[in-house]
Amino acid sequence: MDSVFGKYRNLNTPIHKMDARLKIFALIILMVACFLPYARSSIINSEGIPEYFGYYANTFLVLGILALIIFIIMIISKTSFKSFLKSLNAIWLMIIFLLIFMVFIPRTTSTETLHPIVTFSNGYAIYWDGVLQCLHVVLRIILMLALTLILTSTTAPMDITYALDWYMKPLSLLKIPTQIFTMIISLALRFIPTLLEKSQRIMKAQKSRGVDFNKGFISAKVKSITTLIVPLLVSCFSISDDLSVAMYVRGYEPYGKRTNYKVLTFKLSDLLAFIILLVILGFFIFLCVMAQHYHINFWEFFGIKGTW
């Protein structure tokens, strides 16, 4: 069973060495960059001609720059493209769903500005606006997937947990026991492979009792899943009982102050990366403001006039 997100690969690249807290920060910044609007808000230009291509041209151009940045990070971090393509496998159903809906029913303020590619005799049509909108959403999702994949394949799960713990620290001022959340996350991460192995064993055991997990209608499938879920839950409870006793015996105190064997350290290179990230964020916010407020497209900075 492959999980959607990439497994951690223990390599020695600058991205791997980066502080986990910074990587989470970078993930958030680049995701924000994915979702900023990079288009003029007006769709009709001064001569009264609709600019629907211009609208999307700027967006796609900027997202293209972002994709290039992410691509470079992928190369530096030696993230496998195979696992990236594999993770895309998980969302193709969603993409088809989006395609069907957005191509036929584009989001718009008034129907007059729609630009049909084909109009069917019964009044339905496929619109340029829908196709471009759909591409826009899909591109954003793919970029986000790539970002999370980079994070999970370059950062050990425990490091992610420590980083999340660090981000949650302010909550402890409100007397929220953040260390318990961290413990829960790290235990959950620790037991994913164990439970996968257990479920595979149970599936095999039920198969030899004649269960076919792939065949049958929905009712048969529900029945066969029950034969997996119930034993899995039973063994989950017995594991958690054993685990809690084992932790108790070794002196675990939920509200006590905890120290870590591995301490996250912020290095000089991390500071440099932090500054680069801020510059990137600034650049994208600048592009966003320019397009939204001053109606200047990206290429117009280079003296190229006109819309698409």
CA nearest to 118, candidates 132, 108, 104, 106: 104
Question: What is the DSSP code string of 194-232?
Answer: HHHHHHHHHHHHHHTTT--SS-S-HHHHHHHHHHHHHHH
**Shortest distance, position 155 Cβ to another protein, whole Å:** 20
**Shortest distance, position 89 Cβ to another protein, whole Å:** 16
Check binding of 82 to another protein (CB under 8 A): no
Strand partners, 127: 116
Q: Which of 68, 171, 205, 272 binds another protein (CB under 8 A)?
A: 205
Check binding of 231 to another protein (CB under 8 A): yes
CA–CA distance, 128 with 134 (Å, rounded to integer): 10
Check residue 73 and give left, alpha or beta (phi > 0: left; psi -120 to 50: alpha): alpha
| 199 vs 307 by CB, closer to another protein | 199
* Pair of tokens at residue 122: 């019964």
Q: Which of 115, 198, 221, 295 binds another protein (CB under 8 A)?
A: 198
**Shortest distance, position 209 Cβ to another protein, whole Å:** 4
Residues 142-181 that bind another protein (CB under 8 A): none
Check binding of 80 to another protein (CB under 8 A): no
Check binding of 221 to another protein (CB under 8 A): no
CA–CA distance, 79 with 229 (Å, rounded to integer): 34
Check binding of 225 to another protein (CB under 8 A): no
What torsion do the CA atoms of 107, 111, 112, 115 make, to the nearest 10 degrees?
50
Name the residues that contact another protein, by CB under 8 A.
198, 201-202, 204-212, 215, 226-227, 230-231, 234-235
